[in-house]
Copies of this chain bind each other. A is one copy, B any other.
């Protein structure tokens, strides 16, 4: 079903592509009118590098700021490089302080400096407050515009407060589904849902109408844990509090959705040794060097496996069938191990694997591999007997297959757990180490058994 949208998008991209190449500014403007900044960021990402500035310069200032916020790492960098200082300052002028804090690492120093010069004291304080927390924590995610009320007023007073707030600011904070309830010291007490404000008696006190069971989030909570909490509890917004329990800000679901998307991308991309911010049309040289490193790591692996094969040079010289069959044993171990690895890496990410169930899990994976090993060992032995008319070779081949599938299960279970304990991302390093193991064990077991029993 995803085809449907892809096709629409593709046609759209093609029209835009053509209009940009022909310099048909009128058509370009028509095509992008009505698009949300996030959609424009997607469109920019799908354009080849040389066409991006063309579209970028057609956008109004107010849209450019939002597009920068929505664009992925390298695309954002590219757009910033394509703009001069005045353009950037005009684009940034439309953003909130906490949004600026998300962007500033990517901006040229002179632009950040000029931007700070333009802030008043209150703005600069808010800006520095958000900047002081790491990006991947609740503090880095939060908005500072949490509307708050005291517990000892009634709902009628809350309505008056909201009308005044709107009159002053021109609008209420985005995604306002609830107001934070605090005491005199600004200590967080609970939330007051707007749906309760509109449906309960207006004489009721906030302390009676508020909901207290909603979790509040300590400011240094890792972003991934924030995402899981929102997901598990079906939250729309939650309060961010300091160590002493004071209300600092508010996280809303749209920030969390971005975290979730980045996490999912990170998992898929890092398995192929790519960074999550990889740009399909990024500049060539950084792309070459990033991929070169990954290929280099895998080359070392491959040469270690080659060295293992080299140990059995004489055996292969005597029986060429060994060279023909050995990649089969290695690859089957890798495929089976990768299934276990994927399952275990996911379990770790979800916090579902710990000391109490590791043994269970390892045992189960070993049993699964044993059953699959026996099944496929019988099949391959049969094929080998047909092909090479050599029963002993078939038996050796089948046995090596079973050994390597068991190795795959063991490495796939224990390796991500060990990496996790060492503080290394299992999604990045697990696959490489697994294949190194199953290649070495695959070649070693097959060639070793053959040398022992066949020659």
Chain A residues at the B interface, C-beta cutoff of 8 Å: 1-7, 9-11, 13-14, 17-18, 36, 38-39, 42, 45-48, 136-137, 158-159, 162-163, 165-166, 172, 174-177, 194-195, 197-200, 222, 224-225, 228, 230-234, 236, 253-254, 257-258, 260-261, 263-265, 267-269, 271-274, 278, 280-281, 284, 287-288, 291-292, 294-296, 298-299, 301-303, 305-306, 309-310, 313, 316-317, 320, 322-328, 330-332, 335-336, 338-339, 341-343, 346-357, 360-361, 364, 367-368, 371-372, 375-376, 379-380, 383, 420, 423, 435, 439
Closest to A350 in B: B42
CB neighbours of A330 from chain B (8 A)? 327
Whether B299 and A379, one on each chain, are in contact in the complex, defined by CB atoms closer than 8 angstroms, is yes
Whether B364 and A281, one on each chain, are in contact in the complex, defined by CB atoms closer than 8 angstroms, is yes
Q: Contact check: which of B280, B294, B375 meets A335 at CB < 8 Å?
A: B294
Whether B357 and A48, one on each chain, are in contact in the complex, defined by CB atoms closer than 8 angstroms, is yes
Shortest CB-to-CB span from A147 to chain B, Å, is: 9
Name the residue in A18, A159, A231, A323 with the highest tally of chain B Cβ atoms < 10 Å from its Cβ.
A323
CB neighbours of A336 from chain B (8 A)? 291, 295
Whether B376 and A292, one on each chain, are in contact in the complex, defined by CB atoms closer than 8 angstroms, is yes
Q: Contact check: which of B7, B163, B320, B352 meets A317 at CB < 8 Å?
A: B320
5 additional contacts (CB under 8 A) given A10-B353, A42-B351: A1-B136, A5-B228, A10-B354, A234-B257, A272-B343
Whether A346 and B268, one on each chain, are in contact in the complex, defined by CB atoms closer than 8 angstroms, is yes
Shortest CB-to-CB span from A397 to chain B, Å, is: 11
Shortest CB-to-CB span from A167 to chain B, Å, is: 8
Inter-chain CA distance A177–B179, complex, in Å, is 12
Shortest CB-to-CB span from A199 to chain B, Å, is: 4
Assuming A5-B228, A6-B348, A351-B5, is B320 touching A316 (CB within 8 A)? yes
Name the residue in A137, A322, A327 with the highest tally of chain B Cβ atoms < 10 Å from its Cβ.
A327
Whether B222 and A288, one on each chain, are in contact in the complex, defined by CB atoms closer than 8 angstroms, is no
Whether A10 and B355, one on each chain, are in contact in the complex, defined by CB atoms closer than 8 angstroms, is yes
CB neighbours of A258 from chain B (8 A)? 231
Shortest CB-to-CB span from A90 to chain B, Å, is: 23
Assuming A46-B357, A298-B332, is B327 touching A305 (CB within 8 A)? yes
